[in-house]
Amino acid sequence: MKFCQNCGAELVKGQRFCTNCGAEVTQQQTVPTETAHRKKKKFLIPIIIVAAFLLLAFFLFTQVDTSSKTADAIGTAIKNKDSAALSKLLLQTANL
């Protein structure tokens, strides 16, 4: 099967011009190699890695932020001698 070197459209046997872009068909045009597919895969892998890293960073940041807020709330409850709030906070952290 042949493909247009200009736009990559599939060509029919005996076709002299590409019906997609109008480029003249030469005899050297053959089936495209796997390199086009490999280039797409090489492009996707870094994107997937970056996306996974960003999701992990977001998850870790929100966990640290939540833990920090909980610790601050516990400290405030102790400082204010609020046993009801302290009990509630400790029960919430025990359920995590």
Average pLDDT (59-75) is: 81
* Boundaries of domain holding 66: 52-96
Q: Is the pLDDT of residue 65 over 80?
A: no
Q: What is the pTM of this model?
A: 0.36
Number of domains forming the structure of the chain: 1
82: in domain: yes
Question: What b/e readout covers 6-17, taking b as 16+ CB neighbours within 10 angstroms?
Answer: eeeeebeeeeee
Q: Widest CA span of the chain, in angstroms? A: 90
Q: Which amino acid is at 34?
A: E
Task: Give a yes or no: residue 67 inside a domain.
Answer: yes
- pLDDT at residue 25 in the model: 83
